[in-house]
Amino acid sequence: MILRIAAVGVVFALIAAALRKTSWYRTKTAFIGLKRLATLSEEDKQAAIDGYKFLQRMQDGEKTETEDETKAVADYYKVLNNVLSVFDLEKLYLPPLLNEFEGLYENQLLCEQAVLQELNLTNPETSHLLDMGCGRGRISHYLATLTGGQVSGYNIDPNQIENAIGWAAECGMSDRLHFKVGNHHNPLEYESGTFDGCFSFQAVWPFFKKEELDDHAREMYRVLKPGARYSCSEYLLTPHFDWNNEEHVTLQKAYLPTLAATQSMYPADVCAALERAGFNILISAPSRGPAWPLGEQKRDLILRGRKVVRGLESIRMMPPWVEELLELLQTGGQAWTDAEKAKIADLNWRIVAEKE
Ligand SMILES: C[S@@+](CC[C@H](N)C(=O)[O-])C[C@H]1O[C@@H](n2cnc3c(N)ncnc32)[C@H](O)[C@@H]1O
């Protein structure tokens, strides 16, 4: 079994490196992703597929409770984060194309620098930031490297948190990076007035119903110091989205499970909740560039990867569920591109809000 995992890993790592002419770090990340996938339990894999199907049924109109939605999202991400890491998407978000001569990873860094700048930190090196929905902690790691200060992060999925803690230790930054399991829908497990700023990347507002926004906005306000800011790059509808337009609604239904999101909010609703919590809104604006060109690059890479997966499947070196998941991942990709081109949805809407 171990030999088979290693063989699959080596084949994939070599193919990935050749396809992407990429660094050793990324090849190693792809290999670790494969190893983790190979050692996941059957229940975890089935739960991920069921989670995705749950998200699809939600979009088809099934009435669902937030608790069950959160469970479906966590189950799905537990597997998805490892699959995407194989395709060089260790940070689980599509940034705007800010520099057309650079790839996805470099554009992520540019996006993260812009969000950090909006936090307007007075003393970056003594700052303590909060990363909400921190994924595998790589954005926290980058921001801590830029500021020289501390970053705390929470995420619903223990698998991603385990990975984040491991990476912080490997980088010798465990004293400045603090990760734990946490849920946006519960009170945040931090003392009031702890943070000099908080931020999120496609990780908060896609999981809230309109009537739930106030509770989380109040929690964000509570854990920040006076004068501290929230800055983000988040999936939101644009004001052009019309719930009475059948075409808009059909596109939204098709792409939402692919984004692994449960809700679509307008920026105005999020900003109103932040204002009610006591924030001043400094910026609420569309992304500085489209995400779809980078999404299409990844789609092409995944397509090529699927061919390899199919080949490995035929010689029984890869279980069939991997291809099933890749198939699910691609479903809705075109709908996203169409929605973004029509400017009815934005993956990187920018909000900057300041605590009074
Ligand atoms: C699109 S990913 C972005 C992750 C991270 N910000 C990054 O860029 O790598 C969305 C993240 O939100 C997390 N998430 C979803 N629902 C959550 C919840 N209720 N509480 C905390 N995290 C949640 C998911 O596990 C996932 O890591």
Pocket test for ligand 1, best of 155, 161, 200, 202 (most atoms within 8 A of CB): 155
| Cα–Cα distance, 200 to 113 (Å, whole number) | 13
Nearest residue (by CA) to ligand 1, atom 17, is 156
Q: What's the 206 CA to ligand 1 centre distance in angstroms? A: 9
Instruction: Give per-residue pLDDT as tens, 194-216.
Output: 999 999 999 999 999 999 999 99
Convert the pLDDT of each residue in 108-167 to its tens digit.
Answer: 999 999 999 999 999 999 999 999 999 999 999 999 999 999 999 999 999 899 999 999
Distance between CA atoms of residues 129 and 197, nearest Å: 5
Half-sphere exposure of 7 (CA within 13 A, CB side): 9
CB of 318 closer than 6 angstroms to any ligand 1 atom: no
Cβ 29 vs Cβ 20: under 8 Å: no
Residues 104 and 11 in one domain: no
pLDDT classification of 10: cutoffs 50, 70, 90:
very low
Say yes or no: 24 and 152 in one domain: no
Residue with the bigger pLDDT between 277 and 328: it is: 277
33 & 50 share domain: no
Asked whether the predicted pLDDT for residue 12 surpasses 70, the reply is: no
Residue 28: the pLDDT is 76
Pocket test for ligand 1, best of 207, 212, 263, 349 (most atoms within 8 A of CB): 207
Ligand 1 close to Cβ of residue 291 (< 6 A): no
C-alpha 264 to ligand 1 mean position (Å): 15
Give yes or no: residues 144 and 20 share one domain: no
Other C-beta atoms closer than 10 Å to the C-beta of 134 total 27
**Cα–Cα distance between 221 and 353 in angstroms, integer?**
10
Q: Whose CA is nearest to atom 13 of ligand 1?
A: 133
Residues 100 and 249 in one domain: yes
Tens digit of each residue's pLDDT (9 = 90 or more) over 240-266: 999 999 999 999 998 898 888 999 999
Query: Tens digits of per-residue pLDDT, 70-81?
Result: 999 999 888 888
94 within 8 A of 301, measured Cβ to Cβ: no
Q: Verify whether ligand 1 is closer than 6 Å to residue 160 (CB atom).
A: yes
Question: Do 32 and 126 reside in the same domain of the chain?
Answer: no
Q: Can you tell me which atom of ligand 1 is nearest the CA of 90?
A: 9
Average pLDDT, the chain: 87
Which residue range(s) make up the domain with 11? 1-39
- Tell me, yes or no, whether 74 and 155 share the same domain: yes
pLDDT of residue 7: 45
- pLDDT by residue (tens digit) across 317-327? 666 667 766 77
3-class SS letters over 160-213: HHHHHHHHHHHCCCCCCEEEEECCCCCCCCCCCCCEEEEEEECCCHHHCCHHHH
Instruction: Please state the domain count of the chain.
Output: 2
Least confident of 25-34, 156-165, 171-180, 262-271: 25-34
Residue 307 has pLDDT above 90, yes or no: no
- Among 84, 87, 90, 156, name the best residue to mutate to test ligand 1's pocket (greatest count of ligand atoms within 8 A of Cβ): 156
